[in-house]
Amino acid sequence: MKLIILACFATVALAAPQLGPDHNLRQRPIAILKDERQDLGNGEFTYTFETENGITESRRGYRGSKGQINMEGVYRFPLPDGTIAEVRYVADENGFNAQSPLIPTPHPLPAHAIEQIRFAEEQRARGVTFPDY
């Protein structure tokens, strides 16, 4: 009888939801629907990836003017409200540049700051300098 009770407890313990390291319920694995890669061997490549839960990425690599490998691409993923987020990016001689409505932007400068910058540029153009103390 004790063996049956112990077996029941073990069954219940194994059937309990498993928690991940962040103490959230582990989700089932997500199927990869597409994973296409092409490497031309000279720094040029293409990459396309898609999962069943709506995550996608496509990327293209090409040689840059200074010998580096540049990349441009886009990735998309579903947001909790059901809409799809999109981030487009370029990584090249000018650094990494991403564009998306999701990326925070700085507040616009107030009018008085813009006027001070304009005035300083005007003074610089006239040759006005100030000593460094």
21-52 pLDDT, tens digit per residue, is 556 666 788 999 999 999 998 889 999 999 99
Q: Where are the domains of the chain?
A: 29-101
* pLDDT reported for residue 12: 45
Position 84 pLDDT exceeds 80: yes
pTM of the model: 0.58
Q: Mean pLDDT over all residues of the chain?
A: 84
DSSP 14-40: HHSPPB-TTSSBPPPPPPEEEEEEEE-
- Across 23-32, b (16+ Cβ under 10 Å) vs e yields eeeeeeeeee
85-115 pLDDT, tens digit per residue, is 999 999 999 899 999 998 888 888 899 999 9
